[in-house]
Copies of this chain bind each other. A is one copy, B any other.
Amino acid sequence: MNEIQQLTVNAVRVLSSEAIDKANSGHPGLPLGCATIGYTLFTQLKHNPKNSRFFDRDRFILSAGHGSMLLYSLLHIFGYKVGMEDIKNFRQAGSVTPGHPEYGVTDGVEVSTGPLGQGIANAVGFAVAESMLAERFNKPDCKIIDHYTYALCGDGCMQEGIEAEAASIAGTWKLGKLIVIYDKNNITIEGSTDIAFTEDVGARHEAQGWQVIRVNDGEDMDGLIAAIAEAKKETEKPSLIIVRTRIGHGSAKEGSEECHGSPLGAELTEKMKKDLGYDYPPFTVPQEVYDDVAKMQVRFSSYEEKWNKLKRSYARKYPQDNKLLDAFISNDFTKALKDESLWENAPKPEATRNSSGAVLNRMAALVPNLVGGAADLAPSTKTYMKGLGDYYACSRGGRNVHFGIREHAMSAICNGMYLHGGLRPYCSTFFVFSDYMKNGMRMSAIMNIPVIYVLTHDSIGVGEDGPTHEPVEQLAGLRAMPNLNVFRPADRRETVAAYISALSGKTPTCIVCSRQNLPQLDGSGKDALKGGYVVYGDEKPQLILMASGSEVGLAIDAAKKLQEEGKRVRVVSMPCMELFDAQSRRYKSKVLPSSVTKRIAIEAGVDMPWYKYVGLKGKVIGINTFGESGKADVLMAKYGFTVDNVLTKAKELLK
């Protein structure tokens, strides 16, 4: 490392520590320990700090998101739109420098990270997207998509199961352009990793199909550069670069867990500055550091210029491909969804998982960048797009992805695939196993990115597989999540609405489907896009039945019986509460007039989500226990999902 390089690395350390001290909150351990790694990487990246959205840039993901100040210091010094005032506002409400990196908030941040392990799985998604787009668009004379994906992670990420899942599938997929740097400092919050983590991480990754490279000293810039070069040379395997570092490097707390998540404090930061010979006022980066980076900017700008030139040449030679690539990148195929013929119901009763399969296959033709698959359940969740090939290491153009039995990584990989740009990913598993990927789904929701979750085998309708496979509380749990639309369609038309909403909207969407056949409803239609609507019944009801999914047909049957007995009944289908809640007050009170206080909600799940619609005077026919193993129709009857039971409850209410 030469003098200016060392000075820059020290600037990263000092700036990070000063910001954390000022906030009196944050994690200095990683920024200090990885300052040289981070700096080296930022000099090596194909990126353009003056345009963080340059499409063919290398992606960098800070999987160890608690080390956010490392990233912010680097973004600042390298000329991204992170000013010194922003650094001073680290971790303050409304700042662009929040506690953990947040996508959409900070220039140069590719993805929100913090929950450990997620970032590595995101990185796998970025690398998959790169390989898919490269296969689809590159020409022998024009590699229009050609970049690396880097991630930096710590001992924490390496212990999480999601990392093992992601590493395993990355090895299977031979993602040669994925490079993960492992900041191995052997310290976590409870102390030495020896107390809970003695595995040989390198050997484990080798077993999972990775190239493993070791750098014995995190301050060895030449060693790091050589390691990156070696990683790039290996095109058939993802690379793990294990770098031995010292947490809190340069500070008095170097090597101790005490500096993981607590500020050093003014005194120790001062001491560190002295020890480093860094004699500048607080929040000062020496001008020579800025100047040195400005020199690099020439190279950074040339990356994009070169690519822009390549893109113009591509446009000339391959106008059709170029147009499609642009469409992929702008990622808006909503016009194609206007096709009226989509809105037909199935000719006979159909499980909504089959409706979903049919609609997905229609959508695959309309939305050419729709890619995805299941966690080894495509034959059951009906999420295979016929005739569109499989994404394998040997056939990266296939659109069907086989994630393996790795739900958590699957969701995070989809997040990465979307964030890369150019693709619209979906993924699928049994609804109950959304539990396994809950935090990945949460990350979709926090980032507000429209990943699609197809979740089949809904409710006790699953039947014989029993309580471990019967979701009862998952509807409530996912509806409780902000920014997430949870669709539970009642028939094929409502399934169309779910897909159109999912493919048009900006938020992630769950499409929750039944295993069992459901009747096709006369009254269903485009109003399903409003989340809730009158699907059957009276203009001036004395009783409102509301339901979603498999229980809408039951509600209509019960309503007909009640009408025969002279009652005025309306049935509201509520496929998506979030969309209904977002309608105008006028629309909502038209569907659910406040004058009608006699209301019954029917749903084969816990009752919690419905009280806001039925109130204290209404009733919910739900399931507040776990289910059991048995024939689906037997269970449905046993748990009260019968016309008779609805009639009984209705009559109690109307008394």
Contacts and interface: CB of A to CB of B under 8 A. Distances in A.
Given A93-B628, A188-B405, A463 B25 contact: yes
Given A98-B628, A204-B207, A473 B465 contact: no
Contact of A169 (B65, B196, B406, B468): B196
Interface in A368-418: 374, 376-380, 390, 392, 402-406, 408-409
B161 A406 contact: yes
Interface in A49-92: 65-66, 91-92
Contacts of A26: 464
A99 interface: yes
A624 B65 CA distance: 24
A446 B468 contact: yes
Contact of A100 (B115, B201, B465, B616): B465
Contacts of A98: 466, 628-629
Copies in the complex: 2
A203 interface: yes
A301 interface: no
B195 A392 contact: yes
Interface in A440-498: 442-443, 445-446, 463-469, 472-473, 476-477, 479-483
B445 A626 contact: yes
A160 B197 contact: no
A228 B435 CA distance: 35
B466 A473 contact: no
Contacts of A100: 465-466, 468-469, 629
B481 A95 contact: no
Interface in A135-155: 155
B482 A190 contact: no
Nearest to A26: B464
A606 B480 contact: yes
A358 interface: no
Given A609-B608, A630-B92, A468 B480 contact: no
A368 B425 CA distance: 51
Interface string A298-336: 000000000000000000000000000000000000000
A203 B197 contact: no
Contacts of A609: 608
Interface of A: 23, 25-26, 65-66, 91-95, 98-100, 102, 112-116, 155-156, 159-165, 168-169, 171-172, 188-190, 195-204, 206-209, 261, 374, 376-380, 390, 392, 402-406, 408-409, 432-433, 435-436, 438-439, 442-443, 445-446, 463-469, 472-473, 476-477, 479-483, 594, 597, 606-609, 611-612, 615-617, 624-626, 628-631, 634-635, 638
Nearest to A65: B468
Contacts of A65: 468
- The 8 tightest CB contacts between A and B, nearest first, are A161-B161, A93-B630, A164-B164, A98-B629, A196-B404, A615-B616, A114-B468, A203-B207
Given A93-B634, A114-B465, A161-B165, 4 more contacts: A91-B630, A93-B638, A98-B628, A482-B626
A99 B469 contact: yes
Contact of A156 (B155, B376, B446, B472): B376
A631 B92 contact: yes
A98 B476 CA distance: 26
A358 to B, nearest CB: 20
25 contacts: A66-B465, A92-B629, A92-B634, A93-B630, A93-B635, A98-B629, A99-B465, A112-B467, A115-B436, A159-B376, A169-B196, A171-B198, A171-B199, A189-B379, A195-B392, A195-B402, A197-B404, A206-B207, A446-B467, A446-B626, A473-B482, A477-B480, A477-B481, A482-B625, A483-B626
Contacts of A438: 435-436, 438, 477
A366 B465 CA distance: 41
Query: By CB atoms of chain B within 10 A, which of A201, A209, A374, A435 has the most?
Result: A435
Contacts of A156: 376, 405
Nearest to A445: B626
A467 B199 CA distance: 32
Contacts of A261: 380
Contact of A190 (B199, B209, B376): B376
A496 B172 CA distance: 50
Contacts of A472: 482
Contacts of A617: 615
A349 to B, nearest CB: 19
Contacts of A202: 207
A435 B477 CA distance: 11
Contacts of A91: 464, 466, 629-630
